[in-house]
Structure 1
Amino acid sequence: MLSFWVVATAITLMVAAILIRAVLRGAKREVESRAASDVAVYRAQLDEVDRDVARGVIAKADAERVHAEIARRLIAADKAQSAEHASTDRAPAYVAFAVITVAVLGSVISYWWLGAPGYGDMALKDRIAFAEEVRLSRPKQEVAEASLPPFADPIDIDPRYKELLTQLRSTVARRPDDVQGHVLLAQQERRIGNFIAAKEAQQRVLSLKGADVTAQDLADLGELQVISAGGYVSPEAEMSLRAALNKDPQNGPARYYLGLMLAQTGRPDQAFRIWDALLRAGPEDAVWIPPILEQIEELAQLAGVRYSIPAIGGTAERGPTAADVANAQDMTPAERMEMIGSMVEGLSERLGTEGGPATDWARLISSLGVLGESQRAAAIYANAIDVFADDKDALELINAAGRKAGVTD
């Protein structure tokens, strides 16, 4: 911190010296450009008159009259020059001092008010640790919900619809084990903006389904938890989202909200990778595309990435899919190479030049394992581990693909 103030003071003094010098030189030049130039001109005219007399160009009597007039003007100009020097000798110094004082004090006060005196910059390792601390200590779901205004029925709700909704609530209350009733209630409560009630109904759906709960069920609960907390991703919402991704790593809403959580907790780098992958995967009409487009450029700046919006959905069909790999297992080596060899090469080239989400890296590693290219799969696996070293979810995908390809235990 001391070094900061030393550098700041040195820069301030240098700027002050430059400003003072500029003000003083400017004043001096201004004086010389007026009265001093007049004095020089009149003296030159006197010399010219003397030369004309010597050459006999003008009569001596006329020369004396002209000489007297020029001398009168010279005396007036000399007095004006003296007056200007007297009035400007100290003014520039005062002006310079006032400007520098205001600038320095204004800068110090502004920094003290808007900046963070006493705090140094954080190393990347410390920032990551701080972000993890923020993530682990952030408020719970119930705290976030309690901070928001209580729900009130919309004033423009149709009376007939309101009556039907009241009947639905009553029916579900009488039949607490009716899965479809709770599904319908969650949908209708969400429709009128009663998100906490919708979340509670969705929680009941998951409880009733038990082992049959789907990734989308979990993602729907996570989304309702986020919305009912005013857009804040709580620890409980994160658990729902991660559970959804464990069942379906490609679930779009869960990936979007997990990226939002990372952005909220100081990891724009990880959030950017998730959202960029969602844009590239598409589809263009997915509900998470518009909010990503509104935020991803600013997120890229925070992540330190020079970024331009990619073609939405442009990588959705590039590279072998899981079905391609499964079908290739029943083919001869020649047939497998013919079917997915070109797709593997295309995927490998894209990841090497443009990068891509962890799912694409995992797909490439698995595909190379199927093709028997163990050494190449191992090299790409090692590269992927370096790329996603700070992303736990991505590392899980990469390690699973490595185990499948036989390049790691």
Structure 2
Amino acid sequence: MLSFWFVAVAITLMVGAVLARAVVRGGHRDIGSRAASDVEVYRAQLGEVDRDVARGVIAKADAERVHAEIARRLIAADKAQANETATTNAAPTSIALIIIAVGLLGSTAAYWWLGAPGYGDMGLKDRIAFAEEVRISRPEQSVAEASLPTFVDPENIDGRYKELLGQLRSAVAKRPDDAQGHALLAQQERRIGNFLAAKDAQVRLLKLKGETATPQELADLGELQVLSAGGYVSPEAEMSLRAVLNGDPSNGVARYYVGLMLAQTGRPDQAFRIWDALLRAGPEDAPWIPPILEQIEELAELAGVRYAIPEIGDASGRGPNSEDIENAQDMTPAERMEMIGGMVSGLSQRLADEGGPARDWARLIASLGVLGEWERAQAIHTNAIEVFAADKDALELINAAGRKAGIID
């Protein structure tokens, strides 16, 4: 790092010296050139007059008059040349030198302010390790919530609605074990933007419901944790969202916020994959589509991907292709499920409702093998064999997928 600064300073000084030398030499050469040129012209004219007299072209009396006029102009031009060299010549050169100095100092100051002096470049492994450290050491939910201003009910709330909300708050406080009351309170507090109160009500709801709580209710908690922290995905929110994906890998809300967490902790590559898969899975009216569209191009740039927004929902029901599966190999098991799970779910549902060609059945079987859902892959393989029993080519394709998934020899 020290050698870098020696080289940088040396190059800066060299460039500055070259520019300054060019300005100084150019200034002395160019400024005052008009007066010097006039002096040479008048001297040449004097010689020409003398030659004209010698050849008898002009009379001697006329020559003396012309000679006197040219001499007067020569004296004036010579004087002007001396004045320009002493005064005018110095000003542009000084200004140019000042500009060069300010430019060099300004660029150095700008780097010191906007850049990262003393911060070396990081290799890929170091970047990943640093991102993991950021993820692990990031602030807790309570810290993020405490940093935000205290919520105040909006002034534009309808009077009757405000009265009913007050009654609901009072009723829930009196009946803390009323799950339905907490569910309703969470909805209404969220409606007016009181995300912290909504989150607290949702926490209480999930405690009351215990193991009967649905993945969507847990996803609602994860989202409220993010909203109550001002858009920050805390470790507690991540825990809730990961739990959702363990039970429902296709949950769009959880996948979106896990992607946001990865973007916030220095893994734009993984966040991009998750969000791109969500765009391709759709549907167009999903609530996570607009925020993804606002951010994914910048995210792709950070991930080093040349990217064009795909058609929303173009992957709905098709399942992951070979490129999707190959990309998933570099992810953790949870991230792999987040990326592929939604596609698999859509494809499985379409085949169950509408049927489809053998290649779609084969794709589903292979994808389930990647996800480690071998029992499900085996069941679908058996079903596909029955459906395509009379089609030799289809059976070969399906059995090849079964071997790839590891469910048949």
- After TM superposition, the score normalised by the length of structure 2 is 0.76
SS in 2 for 1:23: helix
**Amino acid aligned to 2:232:** Y
Q: Corresponding residue for 1:287?
A: 287
Measured against aligned partners, the alpha-carbon deviations of 1:270-293 in whole angstroms (never above 9, x if no partner) come to 222222222222222221122222
Q: Corresponding residue for 2:270?
A: 270
Provide closer, same or farther for how the CA distance between residues 326 and 90 of structure 1 changes in structure 2, counting only shifts above 3 A. Answer: closer
Q: CA deviation at 1:375?
A: 11
Q: CA deviation at 1:54?
A: 4.4
Q: Corresponding residue for 2:15?
A: 15
Q: Corresponding residue for 2:186?
A: 186
CA distance in 2 between partners of 1:34 and 1:205 (Å): 90
CA distance in 2 between partners of 1:44 and 1:317 (Å): 93
2:16–2:101 contact (8 Å) kept in structure 1 = no
**Amino acid aligned to 2:19:** L
Q: Corresponding residue for 1:386?
A: none
SS in 2 for 1:311: coil
Provide closer, same or farther for how the CA distance between residues 26 and 302 of structure 1 changes in structure 2, counting only shifts above 3 A. Answer: same
Provide closer, same or farther for how the CA distance between residues 281 and 51 of structure 1 changes in structure 2, counting only shifts above 3 A. Answer: farther
Q: Are 1:226 and 2:226 counterparts?
A: yes
Q: CA deviation at 1:174?
A: 5.0
Counterpart pick for 1:340 among 358, 365, 389:
358
CA distance in 2 between partners of 1:183 and 1:244 (Å): 18
Structure 2, unpaired ranges of 5+? 321-343, 382-394
1:233–1:257 contact (8 Å) kept in structure 2 = yes
Q: Corresponding residue for 1:395?
A: none
CA distance in 1 between partners of 2:10 and 2:41 (Å): 45
CA distance in 2 between partners of 1:39 and 1:301 (Å): 64
Provide closer, same or farther for how the CA distance between residues 115 and 181 of structure 1 changes in structure 2, counting only shifts above 3 A. Answer: same
Q: CA deviation at 1:79?
A: 2.6
Q: Corresponding residue for 1:58?
A: 58
**Amino acid aligned to 2:287:** V
Provide closer, same or farther for how the CA distance between residues 232 and 327 of structure 1 changes in structure 2, counting only shifts above 3 A. Answer: closer
Structure 1, unpaired ranges of 5+? 330-335, 349-357, 378-401
1:35–1:78 contact (8 Å) kept in structure 2 = yes
**Amino acid aligned to 2:30:** E
Greater CA drift, 221-230 or 49-58:
49-58
Q: Corresponding residue for 2:209?
A: 209
CA distance in 2 between partners of 1:287 and 1:27 (Å): 65
Written as runs of structure 1 = structure 2, the 5 A alignment for 1:312-331 is 312-319=312-319, 322=345
CA distance in 2 between partners of 1:36 and 1:175 (Å): 101
Greater CA drift, 67-76 or 132-141:
67-76
Q: CA deviation at 1:75?
A: 2.6
CA distance in 1 between partners of 2:361 and 2:48 (Å): 94
Provide closer, same or farther for how the CA distance between residues 374 and 189 of structure 1 changes in structure 2, counting only shifts above 3 A. Answer: same
Q: CA deviation at 1:317?
A: 4.0
Which portions of structure 1, spanning 4 or more consecutive aligned residues, are displaced by more than 4 angstroms? 88-97, 173-177, 319-329, 342-345, 369-377
CA distance in 1 between partners of 2:300 and 2:141 (Å): 28
SS in 2 for 1:148: coil
Measured against aligned partners, the alpha-carbon deviations of 1:95-131 in whole angstroms (never above 9, x if no partner) come to 4553444334434444444443322222222222111
SS in 2 for 1:86: helix
SS in 2 for 1:180: helix
Q: Corresponding residue for 1:309?
A: 309
**Amino acid aligned to 1:14:** M
**Amino acid aligned to 2:130:** F
**Amino acid aligned to 1:204:** R
Q: CA deviation at 1:222?
A: 0.2
Q: CA deviation at 1:53?
A: 3.4
Q: Corresponding residue for 2:72?
A: 72
CA distance in 2 between partners of 1:327 and 1:233 (Å): 33
CA distance in 1 between partners of 2:10 and 2:200 (Å): 62
- After TM superposition, the score normalised by the length of structure 1 is 0.76
Q: Corresponding residue for 2:246?
A: 246
Root-mean-square deviation (Å):
3.8
Provide closer, same or farther for how the CA distance between residues 105 and 312 of structure 1 changes in structure 2, counting only shifts above 3 A. Answer: same
Measured against aligned partners, the alpha-carbon deviations of 1:305-333 in whole angstroms (never above 9, x if no partner) come to 3333332223324458557569989xxxx
Measured against aligned partners, the alpha-carbon deviations of 1:32-58 in whole angstroms (never above 9, x if no partner) come to 531111112212323333443344332
CA distance in 2 between partners of 1:173 and 1:404 (Å): 56
CA distance in 1 between partners of 2:261 and 2:346 (Å): 31
1:297–1:307 contact (8 Å) kept in structure 2 = yes
CA distance in 2 between partners of 1:62 and 1:344 (Å): 112
Provide closer, same or farther for how the CA distance between residues 260 and 73 of structure 1 changes in structure 2, counting only shifts above 3 A. Answer: same
Provide closer, same or farther for how the CA distance between residues 14 and 168 of structure 1 changes in structure 2, counting only shifts above 3 A. Answer: same
CA distance in 2 between partners of 1:140 and 1:208 (Å): 24
CA distance in 1 between partners of 2:362 and 2:85 (Å): 83
Measured against aligned partners, the alpha-carbon deviations of 1:179-203 in whole angstroms (never above 9, x if no partner) come to 3332222112212222222212222
Provide closer, same or farther for how the CA distance between residues 40 and 20 of structure 1 changes in structure 2, counting only shifts above 3 A. Answer: same
2:362–2:397 contact (8 Å) kept in structure 1 = no
CA distance in 2 between partners of 1:75 and 1:126 (Å): 76
